Every structure is written in structure tokens, then in C-alpha cells.
Amino acid sequence: MALFKLQVNGKSVEADVEADTPLLWVLRDSLHLVGTKYGCGIAQCGACTVHLNGTAVRSCTLPVSAVKDSKVTTIEGLSEDGSHPVQQAWTEVDVPQCGYCQCGQIMSAAALLNKNPHPTEEQIETAMNGNICRCGTYHRIFEAIQLASTKMK
């Protein structure tokens, strides 16, 4: 075990874990930030998506030792009250069914819009291809991203 210092949602935090522990489990088990979900553990479903210096990454395959001083943003840090344009769009479009994948979907969408506020349909599909929604809310996810795009400053 070793002590890792991390920058998560604008705060300095510490976790005493093994170096190969994926960031996902540090967030969930050590820091109790459980909005980041486990779905597959092999970066196939996107439920564990967080931002590393603003870029969407799959935290289930990212060892904590590789994070170093990168800025980690989780769904809890996207906004405290759901006021981020993507979260607002998700609510306005009434996207979730079971909801389990949606934090990961939102983080992927937010990273996309951050870099490209007005993506084409093709760009949306490409950016979201790594996120599985088992309930099949894809139409609404797509619609919410287009709506959020109009809200981005």
C-alpha cells in the first residue's frame, strides 16, 4: 500500500491503496464518490468515465499511480447542483431510464462539448460510441447533447 495524493473535483485528497488500483475504485471505495460507475472493468462500456485534465477517460483501467497531479473531475464535480448545461439538458430531455450509465454518458458528453461546443451528428456518435446504455436511451442522449450544445457558453 502507498499514499497517493490526488486532485479530485478541485480538492486535494489522499488514498492509501496499492499502486495498480484503478482510479475507479479509489473514487468509489476510498473517497466514496460513487457517481462514477463500474460496468465492465475493461473500458468497453463507459460507465466509469471521468475527466482527466478535461479529457474523458475510462477510470476502470487507469491505475491510480498514473494519475499523478492531473486534475480529476467526476460527476460530483461537474457541478454541485446539477446546473452544468449537460446535466440540465439531461433533465429537460428526461433521458434516464434505469440511470446507471448516465453519469458516464454525461461525462463523455461534457468532455465533447467542452472541446467542440457545436459537434456534428457524426461527431456526437463518435464521441459517444464508447458508452453503452443497456436501456436504450440513445435517442434521448443524442437529443440532450444537441440541446446542451445550445446552452454551452
Partner 1 sequence: MTLPKTNRRNFLKLAATASGGLLIGFHWADAQASAPSSIAVIGEDALAAGNVEFNSYLSIGTDDIITIMSPNPELGQNIKTSFPMIVAEELDADWKKVKVIQAPLDSKRFERQVTGGSGAVPHSWERLRKAGATARTLLIEAASKRWNVPTASLTTENSTVIHAASGKKATYGELAVEASRAAIPAEIKLKDKKDFKLIGTAVHNVDNPDMVTGKPLYGLDFYREGMLYAMIQRPESFGKKLKSVDSDAAKAMPGIVDVVTFKNNVAVVGKSTWAVNKARKALKITYEADGALESSADHNRLFKELLDSTDTSVVSVKRQDGDVNAAFKSAAKVITREYQCPFLSHAPLEPMNFFADVREDGVDLVGPTQTPELARNEVAKLLGISPYKVSVELTRLGGGFGRRLKADYVLEAAELSSLIKAPVKVIWTREDDLTGGSYRPAVRYRFSAALDASGNMIGYKLRGVGINAGNCTREDNFPAGAVDNLLIESVEHKSPITTGPWRAPITNFLAFAEQGFIDEVADAVKQDPVKFRLNLLDRAKATPVGAIKYDIDRMKAVIELAANKSGWGTKKGVAQGFSVYFSHRSYVAQVADVIMKKGKPVLDKITAAADCGVVVNLSGANQQVRGGVVDGLGHAMYGQLTFKDGAAEQKNFNSYRLIRMREIPGIDVHFVDNGIDPTGLGEPALPPTGGAVANALYKALGKRIYDQPFSKQEPLRATLGEKL
Q: What is the binding site for partner 1 (CB under 8 A)?
A: 1, 17-18, 20-22, 25, 28-30, 32-42, 44-45, 47, 74-76, 79-82, 87, 90-91, 94-103, 106, 124-126, 128-129, 131-142
**Closer CB to partner 1, 6 or 101, in the complex:** 101
Least distance to partner 1, CB of residue 38, Å: 7
**Closer CB to partner 1, 20 or 69, in the complex:** 20
Sequence-ordered alpha helix ranges (H) in the chain:
23-25, 75-78, 85-93, 102-115, 121-128, 138-151
Residue 129: other Cβ atoms inside 10 A: 10
**Closer CB to partner 1, 68 or 125, in the complex:** 125
Least distance to partner 1, CB of residue 65, Å: 13
Q: At what angle do helices 138-151 and 102-115 cross, to 10 degrees?
A: 40
**Secondary structure tally for the chain: helices H, strands E:** 6, 5
Least distance to partner 1, CB of residue 72, Å: 14
**Closer CB to partner 1, 7 or 61, in the complex:** 61
Sheet holding 55-58, edge to edge: 11-17, 2-8, 71-73, 49-52, 55-58
CB 26 within 8 A of CB 16: no
**Closer CB to partner 1, 87 or 149, in the complex:** 87
Task: Give, rounded to a whole angstrom, the gap between the first and last alpha carbons of the chain.
Answer: 43
Least distance to partner 1, CB of residue 45, Å: 6
Least distance to partner 1, CB of residue 143, Å: 11
